Amino acid sequence: MEAIKNALDFSDFPRNDMIIALFVAVFLLFFPLFSKSTFAMATVIQFLMFSLYGMGWNTIGGYGGQVDLGKAQYVGIGAYTTAVMLIRWDIPFWFSMPIGMFFAVCWSFIIGYPLFRLKGHYFAIATIATSLVLKDIFEVWDLVGASRGLEISPIKYVPPDFLRLIFNSDIYYYYFILVFFFIGILYVNWFRKSRLGFQLRSIKDNEDVARSLGINVHWAKVKTYAIATAFVSFVGSFHACYIKNLEPEDTMSLDLSILIALMAMLGGAGSLWGPIIGAAVLIPLKTYLKEWLGAMGGLLGIDLIIYAGIIMLVSAVEPKGIWGIVQKVRRRKRA
Amino acid sequence: MDILVGSIAAGILIGMVLALMALGLTIIFGMMDIVNFAHGEFLMIGMYTGLLTAQTTGMDPLFTLPVAAAVGFLLGVICYYGFIMFLLRGPMVAQLLGTFGLMLFLRNLALLFFGPQEMVVHKGILVGKSFDMGMGIIMPATKLAAAGLSVVAFAAVWLLMHRTKIGKALTATSLNAQGARYMGIPTERMNALAWAIGGATVTIAGALLVNFWYVNPYVGILFTMIAFAIVALGGFGSVPGAFFAGLVVGIIMEIPGIWDFFTYTFDSDWMAEVPMTSFKYMWVYAAYFVIMVVRPRGLFGWKR
């Protein structure tokens, strides 16, 4: 009961923020009713998925300050578990998703336990290395379709299949992921005020002091890593049912890991709204740039040049992200 | 036996070039604790420089090293003063993602200019020639020359770091930047110099590598990861460590060949069925992981 009350309690944000958030929530709820464009719909679904990825990353990377650049491996585990189970044994999403989550969390313990002894750069690069090892294994493993990948053919199922999450129209996927988007916000809102959340923030500020105060630093990190993994793996499972076509190159690439971390940082790591703002800026930018510029003949890669330019600008000029700018402006107003 | 010796020899040869490539990364890391994700992209630029200079002027690709070194030097200086200097003020997350942005930027710039197709060197004095050294070791002449020149370049950098005044200033800056500043060493300029040396060595390695390796805009990330593995194994910031670790990683990359040797020796069926060549680079990443867990300082590291 206490936990639910805490999760619903947003009172430490200014009222204006909550009004804006409410507007956005209402907009998202009614978005499919007035948008006829399937491209816009797909973009918003991408936005919701990446906000959830970002929220997961934010628990360990933002609140905990442990930069993880290997989140794509958990996306891969979740997505492949769901897809393999559906294709081979016809196990529906609602059963395979928790199993995938379980596998991902187990894997996160296996690699997290030794890796959290490392700090800073060392940890970040080590997560990349494990992610690439796993990707290489998936590229030759026959059970998961090797480098050809897996494809869920929707023909076998009767379309509005709520058990297996196979739909004809994007609108079902939209509302499904939207519900979990709100649940994710409430969860992170509870998390940041929980015991573990406070422990993590103290670890981020000063690990030695945190340890001397009796916090089990290593265990707190491993636990939070598992929470982050569960988020990412869930969205991975959804990704399998939504995209229906999995390849190690898309699902587990380094670019995806970096994109997840980048969004949280662009919005403002270590804040509740950061990953959402980051995803809201970056995902439409990325998809529309690709649509407008990538299609132009001869200008290969120009969309990614602009995108990389934004990354460089943000990291050099305002590393606290958009939320950091907002807070700076507010502080100046108050003063 | 032939296969085993041949694989190890090939591994050592490629390892020398890889060591030169990782040298820049380890110098930069030792100086300012920043991990450069764009390192492989610098290498790619070196490869394109070597290749295109050779194609336009008709020189042999082996003689394009000075051009590549100049390009790398400039690239390092521009990157430092234009971007990295600002990045160093921010937190670690920003540094990681910032250099990743630099990597994406350079990669796609190359894609825009050179297109996605693979390019290889076709002609040159040494291309296609090879020495038979007995014991079944057949050395392509290009690899031999590349390895030799790498060692020369490596020795030059080692001498610069240990026998000159500039090298002393560089070492002082990496040991204690604030103290060095009080002693009148221009640390900003030393940082820029570290980037310039790093850029020059890695582009030289690229120009050497292009003699026997394809180049396309996406080639960088593979070498970035290999360079990380080498630097981790040798110890972050250690120059001799980078050399020995380069040889080790070169041999690790030849594991498929060694595996073949054992498959033939034991004549075992299950060993023949393992798709070892697909795992070629996985061993490098796995080695990195194991080193980080077992000995985070690396073999020769002095920085934690």
**What's the complex ipTM?**
0.79
A49 CA: distance to closest CA in chain B (Å): 21
A200 CA: distance to closest CA in chain B (Å): 16
Test the A interface: residue of B84, B87, B100 with most A CBs within 10 Å: B100
Closest Cβ opposite residue B292 in set A118, A139, A311: A118
A240 CA: distance to closest CA in chain B (Å): 25
Q: Which two tokens stand for residue A222?
A: 């491993």
Contact A301 B102 (CB under 8 A): no
For chain A, give the mean pLDDT: 82
CA–CA gap between residue A324 and residue A330 (Å, rounded): 10
Cβ atoms of A323 and A268 closer than 8 Å: yes
* Closest listed residue to residue B8, CA positions, set B127, B130, B135: B135
Cβ atoms of B214 and B191 closer than 8 Å: no
B140, β-bridge pairs? B130
Q: How many residues does chain A have?
A: 335
Cβ atoms of A121 and B35 closer than 8 Å: yes
Q: Which chain A residue has the Cα nearest residue B106? A: A305
What's the whole-number mean pLDDT along residues A1-20? 76
Contact B83 A140 (CB under 8 A): no
Residues of A in contact with B275 (CB under 8 A): 140
What's the whole-number mean pLDDT along residues A30-44? 80
CA–CA gap between residue B249 and residue B288 (Å, rounded): 10
Walk along chain B (304 residues) and give the pLDDT tens digit of each residue: 667 777 788 788 888 888 888 888 888 887 777 888 888 899 999 888 888 888 887 777 777 888 888 999 999 999 889 888 888 887 877 888 888 888 888 888 888 888 777 777 766 666 666 666 666 666 777 777 778 888 888 888 888 888 888 888 888 888 887 888 888 888 888 888 889 988 998 998 888 888 778 888 888 888 888 888 888 888 777 778 888 888 888 888 877 777 777 777 777 677 666 666 666 777 888 887 787 777 767 666 654 4
CA–CA gap between residue B86 and residue A313 (Å, rounded): 10
Domain extent at residue A100: 2-334
A151, β-bridge pairs? A245
B159 CA: distance to closest CA in chain A (Å): 29
Distance of CA B141 to the CA centre of its chain: 20
Residue A194 neighbours by CB under 8 Å, 6+ apart: A3, A6
Query: Does B100 touch chain A if contact means CB atoms closer than 8 Å?
Result: yes
pLDDT surpasses 80 at A168: no
A40 CA: distance to closest CA in chain B (Å): 26
Residue B74 is predicted with a pLDDT of 92
State pLDDT tens for residues B122-150. 666 666 666 666 666 667 777 777 788 88
Residue B261 is predicted with a pLDDT of 74
Cβ atoms of A198 and A188 closer than 8 Å: no
Q: Which chain A residue has the Cα nearest residue B83? A: A316
pLDDT band at A298 (very low <50, low <70, confident <90, very high): low
State pLDDT tens for residues A217-260. 888 888 889 988 988 999 988 888 888 788 887 788 888 888 88
pLDDT surpasses 70 at A52: yes
Residues of A in contact with B101 (CB under 8 A): 308-312, 315
Residue A305 is predicted with a pLDDT of 83
Residue B304 is predicted with a pLDDT of 44
Contact A129 B100 (CB under 8 A): no
In chain B, where the domains are located: 2-218
What's the whole-number mean pLDDT along residues A38-45? 84
Residue A120 is predicted with a pLDDT of 74
Closest Cβ opposite residue B296 in set A118, A312, A315: A118
Contact B285 A118 (CB under 8 A): no
Query: Does B112 touch chain A if contact means CB atoms closer than 8 Å?
Result: yes
Residue B129 is predicted with a pLDDT of 66
Angle between helices B220-234 and B282-294 (to 10 degrees): 30
pLDDT surpasses 50 at A104: yes
Residue with tokens 């003699």: B211
Q: Which two tokens stand for residue B106?
A: 């350079």
Count contacts between A and B (CB, < 8 Å): 134
Residues of B in contact with A114 (CB under 8 A): 293
Whole-number percent of chain A with pLDDT over 90: 1
**Cα torsion A190, A193, A196, A200: sign:** positive
Contact B282 A61 (CB under 8 A): no
Question: Count of domains in chain A?
Answer: 1
Closest Cβ opposite residue A319 in set B93, B108, B275: B93
Contact B112 A302 (CB under 8 A): yes
Query: Does B12 touch chain A if contact means CB atoms closer than 8 Å?
Result: no
State pLDDT tens for residues A65-103. 888 888 888 988 888 888 888 888 878 888 888 888 899
pLDDT surpasses 80 at A323: yes
Q: Which two tokens stand for residue A116?
A: 């959290």
Closest Cβ opposite residue A311 in set B101, B111, B286: B101
